[in-house]
Chain A
């Protein structure tokens, strides 16, 4: 099953190669593409990227682990990013993180057992005047209190899966 799904995934990935010229400068955009398609950098893509760009797999792996954006393990359906920038920190972002950790029963970097949520603490999402802020997928929610943060998360629990 695992092998099968990986093969299917990679063909989707390869189909997009024509948009990316075969140069080392495309390593990061291709890793971003892979993460966009699969939600994480499936280790199977290293070989493909290496063949396309001519960069050794070891170097691509080094690039992947250097940047905070890339994940080597699968993530939940929704990614909750709790902002811990300066303004949010001063506005007690810790209490927001505590509330969400308590609500979901997971810690920073973990995924709920049902695969619905992954929790991440991030440095700054640039919405400082609405601090404290969280981002769920591409939507930003600001001016939170611990209770409001729980409410926002619950909305996503109840919502049916999109697409």
Chain B
């Protein structure tokens, strides 16, 4: 029987996948075709820019994926391909036997973490098992000692994928070495960086991979209880985790006496409550304990004194998802990928001004340029690339001149940005870098827990300086003040939030100082973003008098007769940019 599978990750649903699935469900009943096609769901395959996606899988496993599908198109796919067996070539975006414009997206990828995402039905443990799921867990608990498991992970060279890159094998060894009557294993699924959705897609698309990774870790360090701390903003991921834990317990992969051995593991899901600082491990643990999520001084590290004072191992979603693959395929195979100090592959969420926005997994050591230009398809609309933001609010902006930097922990750090958890937001000539710095500071300032003075007050003062510069009221010396405050916030903050909050400011000053100076000295925003420094004008030679801008202007600031040149009343204009966007002949300029 042919299978028609709809991608129903959050991205797919946001683009209308639910409606597509509904329409297909009804159509199958109407056509009485339940014996010819079977409908299914899957998670995110990473082609977010083509959502909603519909895959048709032949009984022999050959498959094609159709992109940009609406309910009408879906029904044609059902009739012509699902039932009659004839693919509709012009809508295919990926297919084993077809050449597609976006094939380059997959050519440079190597999928370890995302091995099952977008392929299996995440609600089906059987499909996970079919793909080799829970083989690694069985292997370790029946054949290996905990020390051997830790040795294998150490051999793989896996480093924490949450951003800081601490060696995972060493972390486990420390947690194992601390004797206690009770220990915990914790998964950090509090993906808080704006611009990052790697963990959400993995949680939604392959939940059992994370559960299996945690179980292997629990066995290695001697733990029988664990928590997954998942942000509440991911309702689908939370539901799927809870459901998957239940199913895994029924099947004997979690719970008491797993696979008939002495090893037991009870996992709980805790929903976060919307605090970015809870991505910091000590804050996260406090939040699980039911307290305000404020970080504490380390040492002692959680491996020694963690949840409720007991030794605790914390890794993030992506780190755990790597673990079953490493055990199954061997640490050496993982270590063969990547660079000397950064092994394996890394998942990135491509977003911003990029043609193929979505989720990709590439081997470490690939250059930024290859990820953006080859995998991501470059910048849309013929615009000039300017920078890529990596590492979210803790990271920085890497200018296009440095895009030949290889992606490994140390090389990215040397640019002033950080690897981070994997958000890559691409910026082009229409992005104002001062505004970007202001944007991130606004975020970290709001999310500062308030414990350290310089993080609480210093980020506020920095934000005020940036707001002043964006408003055209910057004065000479503001850049130096920002640099000075940045240094002090970094030096006097307790946790990663404050220690890294100035990074977006420092990197934009380092690489785009001219933009800061244009704002301060010339009262000009070169990218045409900062409202106080721009004005919209109609180019008389180009205006055809179609009246569209005048109709769309929310403040009636544009006047003019049909077929005559229109004029913007600058006193009424709120610089919302609607006219600029609707003009069919590009007759509106920003200056």
A interface with B by C-beta (< 8 Å): 23-29, 31-32, 53, 55, 59, 62-63, 66-70, 84-87, 89-92, 95, 98-99, 102, 122-131, 133, 138-143, 145-147
A81 vs chain B, min Cβ distance (A): 9
Contact check, B193 vs A128: say whether CB atoms are below 8 A apart. Answer: no
With A87-B351, A123-B194, A126-B200 as known contacts, state yes or no: A66 contacts B389, CB within 8 Å.
no
Q: With A and B bound together, what is the CA distance between A69 and B275 in angstroms?
A: 8
| B581:A131 contact, CB within 8 angstroms | no
Q: Which of A126, A127, A138, A139 counts the most chain B CB atoms within 10 A? A: A126
Measured between alpha carbons, how far is A24 from B49 in the docked complex, in Å? 44
Asked if residues B290 and A86 are in contact (CB atoms below 8 Å), the reply is: no
| B132-166 interface bits toward A, Cβ cutoff 8 Å, 1 = contact, 0 = none | 00000000000000000000000000000000000
Most A C-beta atoms less than 10 A away, residue of B14, B196, B389:
B14
A91: which B residues are within 8 A, CB to CB?
A: 352
In the assembled complex, the CB of B470 is this many whole angstroms from the nearest CB of chain A, namely 12
Please indicate the chain A residues that have their CB under 8 angstroms from the CB of B436 in the complex.
89-90
Q: Which 9 A-B pairs have the closest CB atoms?
A: A129-B48, A129-B357, A85-B194, A86-B195, A128-B351, A67-B273, A68-B274, A140-B14, A124-B194
Asked if B396 is an interface residue, CB under 8 A from chain A, the answer is: no
A126 to B202, CA, bound (A): 12
Query: 1/0 per residue B280-304: CB within 8 Å of A?
Result: 0000000111111110000000000
Distance, CA A141 to CA B11, complexed state (A): 9
Known: A25-B289, A86-B194, A95-B576. A127 touches B14 (CB 8 A): yes
B275 touching A126 by the CB < 8 A rule?
no
Q: In this assembly, does B309 line the interface, its C-beta being within 8 Å of a C-beta of chain A?
A: no
Bound-state CA distance A146–B235 (Å) is 26
A27-B392 Cα distance, complex, nearest whole Å: 30
Tally B residues with Cβ within 8 Å of A.
Answer: 61
B293 (CB) vs chain A CBs: closest residue: A66
Interface pair A68/B273, CB less than 8 Å apart: yes
B584 at the interface (CB under 8 A from A): no
Q: Is B516 an interface residue (CB 8 A)?
A: no
Given A66-B292, A68-B273, 19 extra CB contacts under 8 A: A24-B290, A25-B290, A28-B271, A28-B290, A63-B292, A68-B275, A69-B272, A89-B439, A92-B577, A95-B576, A124-B196, A126-B10, A126-B197, A126-B233, A128-B423, A130-B11, A131-B352, A141-B14, A142-B15
22 inter-chain pairs at a CB distance below 8 angstroms, sorted by A residue, are: A23-B290, A27-B290, A27-B291, A62-B292, A63-B290, A66-B294, A67-B274, A69-B232, A69-B274, A86-B195, A89-B194, A89-B436, A99-B554, A102-B554, A122-B233, A124-B193, A127-B11, A128-B425, A129-B351, A130-B51, A131-B351, A140-B14
* Contact partners of A23 in chain B: CB under 8 A: 290
- Given A102-B554, A140-B13, A142-B15, A32–B351 Cβ distance below 8 Å? no
**B15 contacts A125, C-beta separation under 8 Å:** no
Inter-chain contact B196/A126, CB cutoff 8 Å: yes
B266 to chain A, nearest CB (A): 13
Q: Does B276 contact A (CB under 8 A)?
A: yes
The residue that B350 contacts in the complex, of A66, A129, A133, with Cβ under 8 A, is A129
Most buried by B among A31, A68, A91: A68
A66/B275 contact (C-beta < 8 A), A126-B191, A128-B349 known: yes
B-chain residues with CB within 8 Å of residue A102 when the two chains form the complex: 554
Q: How far is the CA of A147 from the CA of B578 in the complex (A)?
A: 9
Residue of B nearest to A60 (CB): B290
Contact with A along B181-196 (1 / 0, CB 8 A): 0000000000111111
> With A and B bound together, what is the CA distance between A163 and B378 in angstroms?
47
Residues from chain B with Cβ under 8 Å of A55 in the complex:
290
